[in-house]
Structures are given as structure tokens and as C-alpha cells.
Amino acid sequence: MATTLPADVQHLTEDTSVALARHIQFAPISTPLTQMPIATSYVSVGVGKPILLIHGFDSSIFEFRRLVPQLSSQAQVWAVDMLGFGFTDRTTAAPITPAAIKQHLYSFWQQQIGQPMILAGASMGGAAAIDFTLDFPEAVEKLVLLDGAGFAAGPAMGKLMVPPLDSWATSFLKNPGVRRRISQQAYCDRTLVTPDAELCAALHLQMPRWKEALIAFTKSGGYNFLGNYIQKIEPPTLIVWGEQDKILGTKDAQRFQQTIPKNQLVWIENCGHVPHLEKPRNTAQAIMSFFVG
């Protein structure tokens, strides 16, 4: 059961990255999915009411390195690596599907948090947060979508997940140049795609069975089924959206606003798809205003 980060974590240079790495822990989470507990990577910083952060597709808790310190002075901030992603153990026999991810998240919440929380999901993590909220509304006091998926289709590479193209697709996604171009598209200010940021975005690729888990999740179809259920979200929902989002665009922000019964939409100026990375202070202010509202 792997409970260590890749050795390249020592090459992180930015303060927020180094600090987050020091806070990463592993918890043995018991689930109905496997006989053995799943070593689950997470951080927990601060005191007060809990906020749980869920990262996006092919990402990790390092995605929240700049947001965690902005929130942790006012709340207990948790971030967790979903099943099949980040640094959470992929070597178990657990299926890597939305249903399994939801069960793993629920088991994590039961065993680590155990009280109603604010649940915040970024990009695909937004879809995972919606899926969780629909099944376990008692666990979610309020929901936050950070340029969240839900209406959007799953990863386009899903069409390539047939052998031998599945190995080719994941090798393509692992290419540093490809990952750099994706990162540059995610930001409005491309100077933020620093060597440290690139390392943060790639560390989890060194974990055992990264390729196999990514293929399994993509073959599952992802969260393409959610669109017709978004209107059933019960908790108050904050929609935070970068005005220059070139990954999902901006129409989905308005669709969420028109569909979710109780919601508030906050636009982040001069910001792309990752407001928690590009404008962490503005994003934290929006979340905390919603938190106490």
C-alpha cells in the first residue's frame, strides 16, 4: 500500500507547493469496493467548519496549493485525491468509475470528516461533487463549482480508449509538451505556467498504474450522465467561473445558474479555467462570503 510521494517532490520551489507537500497525509480508507483499505492521499489544514476540495481530471490535490492557505485561516480545509487519481493508491482491485469514486468519497467523508461540509469541485471535480451531492445531500451543507463540469461531455480521448490506441492516448497525455499546452490554455495569464506549476501538474504521473487507471476511468464514460439531474441539486450552490475560460467556455456557468434551484454566480475577471490557481484570493473571498452567508 503506497503511502509516499514521488521523489521528484523535492524539486518543488514555490512556497505554496512546498507547504502543501508537507501537509499531504495518507489514510487507510475502508470501502465496500475492496477487501483491503485504500491508501488515500489528502490534506487537512486549519480549524472550524469543513470545506472539502476535489480536483479535476488527471490532476491531484496540488491543484489547490494556492487556495488552501487562503481558506485555512477561517475554516478546516480538506483536499482529497479521488479514487484512480492523484496519489491515492491505484493498485487495489477497485473499479475506476464515477460510482466507485462516489463511494470512495463517501467513505472518506464518513471516516475523516463526519459532519456536513462545503463541497467544492474544480472542473471534472465539479461533476464528481454534483454526483456526490445528489446521492448524499446530508453530507453537503453547501456546494461550490469552480468552472465545474456537469453539462460538458467527458474527455475527448475516450474515443481512443481501444487497444492499442489507449496506450497511445495516455502516452500522448503524458508528454510534457502536451501537458504544457493544456496548462497554458487553462490560464488567462500564461506566465503562471512556471516549471514549478508544471511539476505540480505531473507528479502524480509517476504513481503506479497511472495509465491503467486513466484508461479505466475514461472507458467508463465519465460523468456524461449528469446533465438531466443537475436540476435536482438541493443544497445552496456557488458557481465560480473565470471570465476567460477557454476549456469549458462560459455558457455552462449560465446553464448552471438557470438550472440549479438555489444558486449564486460569481465571475472572476482576467481569469481562465482554474480560478483557484490563477486568482486564489478572489476565489477564496467568494467561497468564504458564501460560507458565512
The pLDDT tens digits of the residues spanning 176-212 come to 888 899 899 999 999 999 999 999 999 999 999 999 9
Sequential DSSP letters for 70-117: HHTTTSEEEEEPPTTSTTS---SS---SHHHHHHHHHHHIIIII-S-E
Could you give all domains of the chain from N- to C-terminal order, each with its CATH number?
7-292 (3.40.50.1820)
Per-residue pLDDT reduced to its tens digit, 135-171: 999 999 999 999 999 997 655 554 444 454 556 577 7
- Determine the pLDDT at residue 162: 47
Per-residue pLDDT reduced to its tens digit, 22-69: 999 999 999 999 999 999 999 999 999 999 999 999 999 999 999 999
pTM for this one?
A: 0.95
Cell of 240: 465560480
Report whether 276 contacts 66 (CB < 8 A): yes
- CB atoms inside a 10 Å sphere around CB 15: 12
Closest C-alpha among 38, 161, 129 to residue 91: 38
Peptide bond into 6 cis (omega under 30): no
- Cα angle 230-231-237, degrees, rounded to a multiple of 5: 75
- Determine the pLDDT at residue 252: 95
